[in-house]
């Protein structure tokens, strides 16, 4: 298996623009997680899905953030409109059977909002 795949790897955009981050989890994994990592706040869980259903979105910072998982092999995290404070590395991860199982992380998307 290729592991968790994320795209794009780098995104530079201007404030106010819409940003869409994409993730393909490991095949057969029931859980998918979106994290954000910054120097100031460390690694934060934004939202996670179980079998394509959002379970906990309490970490989503505000209404500008939304996430979807239309099928078992694809998820998106959208920011609209983007702001400079959204600049961070966004990781997608997946786990096999439990939300607290070993998590497998993608390479991340480094987002810069100017």
Please report, as ranges, the residues that interact with another protein according to CB under 8 A: 4, 33, 42-43, 45, 48, 55-56, 91, 93, 99-100, 102-108
Q: 42 or 70: whose CB is closer to another protein? A: 42
For the CB of residue 82, give the shortest distance to another protein in the complex, in Å. Answer: 22
Q: Rounding to the nearest 10 degrees, give the CA dihedral for residues 8, 112, 58, 91.
A: 40
Distance, in Å, from the CA atom of 55 to the CA atom of 77, rounded to the nearest integer, reads 15
CB of 99 to another protein, least distance (A): 5
Query: Which residues are CB-contacts of 70 (< 8 A; sequence separation ≥ 6)?
Result: 52
Closest separation in Å from C-beta 31 to another protein: 9
């Amino acid at each position: 298996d290729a592991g968790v795949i994320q795209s794009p790897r780098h995104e530079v955009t201007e404030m106010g623009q819409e940003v869409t981050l994409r993730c393909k989890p490991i095949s057969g994994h029931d859980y998918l997680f979106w994290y954000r990592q910054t120097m100031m706040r460390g690694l934060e869980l934004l939202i996670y899905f179980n079998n394509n259903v959002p379970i906990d979105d309490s970490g989503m910072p505000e209404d500008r953030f939304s996430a979807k998982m239309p099928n078992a092999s694809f998820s998106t995290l959208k920011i609209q409109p983007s702001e400079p404070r959204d600049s961070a590395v966004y990781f997608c991860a997946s786990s096999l059977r439990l939300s607290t199982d070993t998590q497998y992380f993608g390479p991340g998307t480094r987002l810069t909002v100017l």
